[in-house]
Amino acid sequence: MRRIFQIDGTETECWLSHDGSRFLLNTPDGEIPCRLDPAGVPGGYVLRARGRVQDVRLAVGPDATFVHMNGRTYAVGRVDPAERLAGRDSGTADDRIVAPMPGVVVSVKAKPGDHVKEGQLLLVIESMKLETSLIAPRDGVVAEMPFATGDSFGLKATLALLAPQEE
């Protein structure tokens, strides 16, 4: 059974198996025998892996597993490779300017059909009382500007879309 794990923006595809006595996590760097046993506190476990015995606290969210270990907190994104294949959309990452957090549009500086240069200001947003300027990631033509000044938007909303690049 495969999973793609995302840690600090890096994706790693793994395969979990069981050899009858223990779990094995197969990573691109090799096979890790591992085991996780509950400890007496909420979300508390003991991880045994890579020769280490490690107390952890964990919570499993819908898309990510949150882990507290050695005084630090980590988020591990989980993707089922099968679901990703089914749901993939056509636009590539640099065509789309996605809201880094929910907020409000302060001003719109481009409209569909405009030719824009890399670095050109497309729109200004405000999130959590901070003003952020969003710029064109490359030269191109604006395809969509879905929001007007004063509109609110949610996390990961598409704020601007460039027409696909002609090769």
Binding site for other proteins (CB under 8 A): 1-3, 5, 7-8, 10, 12, 14-18, 20, 23, 25-29, 32, 34-36, 41-43, 45, 47, 49-50, 52, 54, 56-61, 65-76, 78, 100-103, 106, 126-131, 155
Pick the closer one to other proteins by CB: 10 or 90: 10
Beta-carbon contacts of 51 under 8 Å, excluding residues fewer than 6 positions away, are: none
Identify the H or E element spanning 16: strand 10-18
Please state the closest distance from residue 136 (CB atom) to other proteins, in A.
Answer: 20
Nearest CA among 80, 82, 86 for reference residue 62: 80
The answer to whether 156 and 99 are in contact (CB under 8 A) is yes
The answer to whether 123 and 134 are in contact (CB under 8 A) is yes
Q: To which residue do tokens 């240069």 refer?
A: 117
Pick the closer one to other proteins by CB: 12 or 92: 12
Pick the closer one to other proteins by CB: 73 or 90: 73
Pick the closer one to other proteins by CB: 8 or 167: 8
Please state the closest distance from residue 134 (CB atom) to other proteins, in A.
Answer: 14
